[in-house]
Structure 1
Amino acid sequence: MREEVVPILRVADAAKAVRWYERLGFEKRWEHRFEPDFPAFVEVARGEVKLFLSEHTGDARPDTLVYLYVNDVDALAAEFDVTPEDAPWAREIELRDPDGNRLRIGTSTD
């Protein structure tokens, strides 16, 4: 088994959140609900990078910050019409998803 960490982000509307994360290159892998009208718990992935999106109120706090390294931050900056900034460790942008979770996204300058 490969060890990994999968951040859980609180979302109010999983379907809306999935559409937003698809713009970042993530795709929905699966969705779970204990009953049809219960909150959703969804996995999205971009290659080997995974995030859990949860409608369950106790799973995560709003305004979480996740750092995501990508190969081409400029392409994502263009998709979201933002300007990347150069930091000593990466060229990066910061975005907020529809629920206020923050994603700092960078391409390493190494």
Structure 2
Amino acid sequence: MSFEAAVPIVRIFDVAKAQDHYIGFLGFTVDWEHRFGADFPLYCQISRSGLRLHLSEHAGDATPGGNMVVYLSGLRDFHAELAARPYRYARPGLTDQAWGLEMQVADPFGNRIRFIDRRTV
């Protein structure tokens, strides 16, 4: 048996706000999108550097206000990249924790990603 990487489903309520945050600010790209019809909720996959997330407007797919941990290397560079972007809704900081350097980013729907670089502590 072999597991693949988990793909969290993140509940969203507004496609434009989600795109502004995840694509414009965090630098993800859209891999694919699915709708059952022209005016149906969006379900899509976005990715960046091996991290995949599913964004869903479907009510039963996920609970808003979720929290996930993403381990990575190079958090200081990622933080500098985000700080250089003209995104007015978030200015995440870096925090030294016992488990590593951490940057927490919240999306417009109350979901949080805790980016943790374990190699920096």
Give the shorter-chain TM-score range.
Answer: 0.7 to 0.9
Looking at structure 1, the residues matched to 27 and 3 of structure 2 have their Cα atoms a distance apart, in angstroms, of: 23
Q: Deviations over 1:30-70 (max 9, x none)?
A: 11000010000010001221000000011100110011122
5+ unaligned residues in a row in structure 2: which ranges?
84-90
Structure with greater proportional helix content: 2
Query: What does residue 12 of structure 2 align with?
Result: 11
Query: What does residue 32 of structure 1 align with?
Result: 34
Q: Aligned residue pairs: how many?
A: 110
Q: Which moved more, 1:73-82 or 1:33-42?
A: 73-82
Looking at structure 2, the residues matched to 51 and 24 of structure 1 have their Cα atoms a distance apart, in angstroms, of: 12
Instruction: Give the CA deviation at 1:88.
Output: 1.9
Instruction: Kindly report the root-mean-square deviation, in angstroms, between the aligned alpha carbons of the 2 structures.
Output: 1.9
Q: Which moved more, 1:95-104 or 1:69-78?
A: 69-78
TM-score by length of 2: 0.80
Instruction: Give the CA deviation at 1:2.
Output: 6.7
Of all paired residues, the percent bearing the same amino acid is 38
TM-score by length of 1: 0.87
Secondary structure class of the residue paired with 1:109: helix
